[in-house]
Structure 1
Amino acid sequence: MKNIKDYEHKKVLVLGLAKSGVSAASLLHKLGAFVTVNDYKPLEENAEAQGLLEQGIKVICGSHPIELLDEGFELIVKNPGIPYTNPLVAGAIEKGIPVITEIELAYKIAECEMVGITGTNGKTTTTTLIYEIFKADRNLDPLIAGNIGTVASSVAQKATANQQMIVELSSFQLMGVQTFRPHIAIITNIYEAHLDYHGTKQAYAKAKSNITRNQTEDDFLILNHAQPDLWDLVSFTKAKIIPFSTKEYLEDGASIKDGSIMWKGKKMMDRSEVVLPGDHNLENILAAVAASKLMGASDEAIREVLKTFKGVKHRTQYIGEIEGRKFYNDSKATNILACKAALKAFHQPVILLAGGLDRGNGFDELIPSLKYVKALITFGETAPKLESTAKKAGIPVVLRVENVEEAVPVAWELSEPGDVILLSPACASWDQYKSFEIRGDIFVDAVHKLR
């Protein structure tokens, strides 16, 4: 870790805790800043705040008092989930106080190069693929961090100069960067998302573009060739652009030709050797291949991983096969777009398990993607809407159950050898489960019980 002096003797407010806030506060304290932590949760219920208090860090809990802005803070490190409309944040910006997220701290102290991955869909799969390929290469020594669950500013403290940090980045994190500069940046794709936070697609996309804001001619930006709007978005970049495409052969990037995965005109392997299903995952694979080759990974490491990598948990995750039926856990499909991407991966009969929180939308947009669905099993608040869509799509069997656990044995009874049984809810989980991870774990447990 670089022993920087940037924050020494500076008054810094860390706004919001969770893992990123705790890491940021501890790090800033270590770097000699005068740190105050402010979190909404009351102190008596706040183990993280109590731990920071024991380190000698000033802690204010239970509310976000606007009066804090009168205490002369020179910097605010904001939890990514706190919106910029928060009165404290908005007031700080009005006063000219810089507001950053902890990824900026991670970059400042990291001794190693970073590969940064963002986008609407595919971030976690791409991040994990790159990490696994780097791990498989004897000349690389990767660390994984960021939005994937491991706080970047904690990982950066342990990173050495000969390592590589593979960092998944959300739009929320990228709004709060000043100098952050990954050597390799990836934007997998941009679709409309998080409008409740950003307000418009344009604002959301602009936040994503911050991943390349500080890159130079010595850096690389990997982009989806199929999204010209994305290229327009980053037209300001100084980085060397490396394209990837599943639709078009590219001499200067990663693409598909005659059923083969290609890198700059050279065949890497047959697509048929790749375990991970779906065109959307093929885009993730090509982005990961590009990043891996740019960082010097061997062809052997890439082939080894792509022949064995079955997917990230809860993201079109292959669970296994029972008596000719293949089971996939795509609990992360919390919206229609993600469900459509999962359905596109299969060209055999599918029994689809879907449902969850009703966000007020309909599901008729799914109809073109349901052509291989032979049965739909619904659950949760949205069950009636999904059933209405299934009727319009002409799905012959539609059944409603109470929850995911009940859906699995029902799907089994309806299935035949050669079928896919897919959990891809197209909805958030919060009407029945605290998270999509819990929903997915229950599905996996129910599948294992069938054995």
Structure 2
Amino acid sequence: MKMIEDFKNKKVLVLGLAKSGEAAARLLDRLGAIVTVNDGKPFEDNPMAQTLLEDGIRVICGSHPLELLDEEFALLVKNPGIRYDNPMVVKALDKGIPVWTEVELAYLVSEAPIVGITGSNGKTTTTTMIAEVLNAGGQSAKLCGNIGYPASEVVQEARDTDCLVMELSSFQLMGTESFLPKIAVITNLIASHLDYHGSFDQYVAAKWMIQRQMTEEDTLVLNFNQEEARALAHETKATVLPFSTQEVVEGAYLLDGKLYFKGEWIMDADQIGVPGSHNIENALATIAVAKSLGVDNQAIRDSLAAFGGVKHRLQFVDEIAGVSFYNDSKSTNILATQMALSGFDNAQVILIAGGLDRGNEFDDLVPDIRGLKHMVVLGQSAERVKRAADKAGVAYTDANDVADATRKAFALASQGDTVLLSPANASWDMYDNFEVRGEVFLKAVEELKG
């Protein structure tokens, strides 16, 4: 880690705790900043804040007092989930205080080069794939970022011989200024988080910030299946390296069931350890990065063939009486569920779907669910999901929650069938996040087996 002096004796406010806020506060403290942490959770119920205070870091909990910003902070580092219309953020910006997320801090002190991965779907799987392939190829890759390991924590132990493989959300990227990955990947772009960004254009602009500081010496991996990516390829100074499952490109591509990189066969598509057309895209993006960093083909092939997926993202759970269970709780939108279904024979799938009602219809899902053996439907959006099922001619059963849905799906299944939790909806109508929803599914499968 570079022990920079940019923050020495400067007052910095960390807004919002969780893992990333704690990591940012500790990194800033280590760099000599005068740190104040402000978190909405009451101090008596906030063990993270209590530990920070014990370690000599000032904490203010229970509310977000606007007058706190009158202390003339040099910087505000906010939790990525805090919106820019938050009164504290608005006042900071009005006062000319820079507002960052912790990944900007991580970049400033990093000795290791960064591979940054963003996109609407597939970024967690692709991030994990890349790290595993690089490590299989003899490089030292460290996972961090939106994948659950705060970048500003991991970076403190990383050396110049390491590589930070960093998953980045649009929320995180909006809080960057000088952030510069050596290689950047945008897996795909579909309308997401519009309640936060306001429009698709603004959402794309946030994702596009990943390449803002890149030059021709840096590599930008783009999904040329998408017209948006093709258009954006002309708007960057980076060297563009495309991937595609639809045509031969000057990068990584699928042709006749085989994966190639610039004309060189890497592996057959059916050798990839996880099913689904979306995982072919993820593998192609991974191959593009790996080849750019000099990983040999055998290491790429062995690693991708052994890849077992990511928890809650098309995760194989177990097989009971010949019925396979897959946990795809991370599929919080229609496209993610479409991708998940592409890896299975619909005639042998019982799909569990439904969740937070955002007011959208599910007509786009109709072609993908046509031919399903059955659906089990739950959540606020159940009526809308059932309308799509009716249009597709698919029978369905109602469920009270994920555990109930899992039991009912298993009762409907026969040997050789698959029970797939792929909700096409966010989880917040019933569960705190998709991880909790997925854990309920895992526990229900475990109880069925018992």
| Alignment TM-score, normalising by the size of structure 2 | 0.95
In structure 2, C-alpha distance between the alignment counterparts of 1:88 and 1:429, rounded to whole Å: 28
Is this contact kept in 2: 1:348–1:418, CA < 8 A?
A: no
- List runs of 5+ in structure 2 lacking aligned partners: none
Where does residue 277 of structure 1 map in the other structure?
275
Q: CA deviation at 1:261?
A: 0.5
In structure 2, C-alpha distance between the alignment counterparts of 1:446 and 1:66, rounded to whole Å: 45
Is this contact kept in 1: 2:233–2:240, CA < 8 A?
A: no
In the TM superposition, what whole-angstrom CA distance separates every residue of 1:360-414 from its partner, at most 9, and x where no partner exists?
Answer: 333233211112312111223333332332222211x322232222333432332
In the TM superposition, what whole-angstrom CA distance separates every residue of 1:282-328 from its partner, at most 9, and x where no partner exists?
Answer: 11110011111111212111111221212111111122444443321
Is this contact kept in 1: 2:323–2:417, CA < 8 A?
A: yes
Where does residue 313 of structure 2 map in the other structure?
315
In structure 1, C-alpha distance between the alignment counterparts of 2:404 and 2:63, rounded to whole Å: 42
In structure 2, C-alpha distance between the alignment counterparts of 1:267 and 1:175, rounded to whole Å: 38
Q: Does 1:393 align with 2:408?
A: no
> Where has structure 1 moved over 4 Å in runs of 4 or more?
none
Is this contact kept in 1: 2:22–2:48, CA < 8 A?
A: yes
Where does residue 304 of structure 1 map in the other structure?
302
Q: CA deviation at 1:255?
A: 0.3
Letter in 1 for 2:401: N
Is this contact kept in 2: 1:408–1:447, CA < 8 A?
A: yes
Q: How many matched pairs?
A: 448
Where does residue 178 of structure 1 map in the other structure?
177
- List runs of 5+ in structure 1 lacking aligned partners: none
Is this contact kept in 2: 1:205–1:233, CA < 8 A?
A: no
Say if 1:260 and 1:210 are closer, same or farther in 2 by CA, change over 3 A: same
For the residue of structure 2 that corresponds to 1:422, the secondary structure is strand
Q: Does 1:372 align with 2:368?
A: no
In the TM superposition, what whole-angstrom CA distance separates every residue of 1:51-95 from its partner, at most 9, and x where no partner exists?
Answer: 222222222222222222221211111111111111221122222
Letter in 2 for 1:98: P
In structure 1, C-alpha distance between the alignment counterparts of 2:50 and 2:374, rounded to whole Å: 51
In the TM superposition, what whole-angstrom CA distance separates every residue of 1:31-60 from its partner, at most 9, and x where no partner exists?
Answer: 111112212222222222222222222222
Q: CA deviation at 1:28?
A: 0.8
Q: CA deviation at 1:234?
A: 5.5
In structure 2, C-alpha distance between the alignment counterparts of 1:272 and 1:436, rounded to whole Å: 29
For the residue of structure 2 that corresponds to 1:115, the secondary structure is strand
In structure 2, C-alpha distance between the alignment counterparts of 1:348 and 1:198, rounded to whole Å: 35
Where does residue 126 of structure 1 map in the other structure?
126
Is this contact kept in 1: 2:346–2:370, CA < 8 A?
A: no
In structure 1, C-alpha distance between the alignment counterparts of 2:199 and 2:233, rounded to whole Å: 17
Where does residue 71 of structure 1 map in the other structure?
71
Give runs of aligned pairs for residues 26-37 of structure 1, distance below 5 A: 26-37=26-37
Coordinate RMSD, CA, aligned: 1.7
Candidates 420, 423, 426, aligned match of 2:424: 426
In structure 1, C-alpha distance between the alignment counterparts of 2:79 and 2:379, rounded to whole Å: 31
Q: CA deviation at 1:247?
A: 0.5
In structure 2, C-alpha distance between the alignment counterparts of 1:342 and 1:35, rounded to whole Å: 44
Say if 1:322 and 1:47 are closer, same or farther in 2 by CA, change over 3 A: closer
